[in-house]
A = this chain, B = another copy of it.
Amino acid sequence: MAAAPAVPADLIVTGCTALLHADPAETDPRRAADGIRFVPDTALVIRAGVIAEITDSAGAAASPSRERIDAEGLVALPGLINCHTHSPMVTLRGLVEDRPEQEWFNDWIWPIESNLTPRVIALGARLACAEMIRGGVTCFADHYFATDVIADAVEETGLRANLGEAYFSSQGAEGRARSLDRALGLRGRAGGRITTSLAPHAPYTVSDDDLAATARLAAEHGLPVHLHAAENRAQTDTSLARHGRTPIDVLRDTGLLDVDVLIAHGTGILDRDLPALRAATGRIGVASAPRGYLKFGWDTTPVRALVDAGAHVGLATDGAASNNTLDVWEAMTLTALVQKRAERDPRWLTARQALRHATLDSARAVGLGDTVGSLAPGRRADLVLVDLSGPHTQPVHDLAATLVHSARSADVRTTIVDGRVLMRDGRLTSVDVPSVAGELAELLPDLVERGHGRRIQTYDT
């Protein structure tokens, strides 16, 4: 135990039971469930946004600190990571329901998205950040337009984010150029909490030439690429029928598997795609958002095959327009449930595996595997405190099972990013939800107007 230093810590969290990874530097996703343990009476000493020391209550008792949180009876987890979302789309939550994806996109979402003003995006991003902080999410990978506006919301609300400015080839050269400009201009902002990606929309809306150029730019500038690919089986089948290649083949052929890539959804990834993923020289992340796949009647992400192929499978919510929530805790629970059903194997995707996907694997998927995703000295202090005293989480026989299968996002009491407390005992400290929701409500009538006949893009896989 270190002697109490002269300079006070910024924050000390005492008395919690902490989820620790035996080896936070382990990068092999096949060891998913290994080495998660729960250590009672843990104290986390935070300095300059970093976990400086992990000790016990006795060890922390003598350490001076500017702020202390008594977490007696609470469980500390690494903050959850939303590996793929479109945060401002919370503004459209619940507007268009019970429709297949073509109709959903072409008749509703893409006409309405052409109405989005910077003010609506700014409000939507703030509301999304509030929802994520409330639900224990400390970092999100956003794939959307106006990332400069979203960056302001990230800066203000205190979250961590990886931002990718989406583009279609239908926008001409300007789209790709703006995606690069934003990636270079925004990275490092918000005290380093913002990282960036290049963000072509998908192989069916971006040409092979643009994808290949994006791969070259990614390598040149040290940027990852975040895009939709093989979102569902129909996309894969259409791609095969049109040019004899799967979406993953397209990624391989355009060089996107030789840079760090984050693939959204991948429910249409086939066994024949696995060799290409195994042979990738870049880091392959796949973001799985299981709720929306059920809702559209799709298959789910083939997590077991992807893990076997060495991909980092992270958890996600997609945008709330389709998914209705940004609840990564629910994504964790659903991943455990849906993957058991998909594999017809109740022994697969244990609660510990689910926790590993939600923490270290998600951090690796978004390119932050050495920075967050684990409570360990030297990592950024992104963590949540969870209350398991409610009747729905008692008694506790096994903490992993209780967290994954009984607890809910609403049981998160406190959310901390970079050592800053963004929610304390259920109260948000950086977003005024009634004010944001109130202003948004006034703008909704203009937002949902479809009479103009414009459409941001056409869905035609």
Chain A interfacial positions (CB closer than 8 Å to B)? 90-95, 97-101, 127-128, 130-131, 134-135, 291, 293-298, 320, 324-327, 336-338, 340-341, 343-348, 350-351, 389-392, 394-398, 401-402, 405-406, 408-411, 428, 431, 433-434, 437, 440-441, 444, 448
Contacts and interface: CB of A to CB of B under 8 A. Distances in A.
Given A325-B392, A390-B134, A437-B394, A346 B297 contact: yes
Given A294-B338, A346-B100, A408-B410, A94 B392 contact: no
A314 to B, nearest CB: 20
A188 to B, nearest CB: 28
A438 to B, nearest CB: 9
A314 B226 CA distance: 42
15 contacts: A93-B402, A94-B396, A94-B405, A95-B398, A98-B346, A99-B347, A100-B346, A100-B347, A101-B346, A294-B340, A320-B406, A324-B401, A325-B392, A390-B433, A394-B433
A33 to B, nearest CB: 10
A444 B395 contact: yes
Given A350-B98, A351-B98, A405-B94, A391 B294 contact: no
Contact of A325 (B94, B324, B406, B431): B406
B93 A395 contact: yes
Contacts of A296: 340, 346
Given A295-B346, A391-B127, A351 B97 contact: yes
Contacts of A94: 396-398, 401-402, 405-406
Contacts of A130: 391
Nearest to A441: B395
Nearest to A399: B94
A98 to B, nearest CB: 5
Contacts of A408: 408-410
Contacts of A128: 391
Contacts of A433: 389-391, 394
Residue among A100, A392, A396 with max Cβ neighbours from chain B (10 Å) = A392
Contacts of A91: 395
A95 B394 CA distance: 11
A326 B134 contact: no
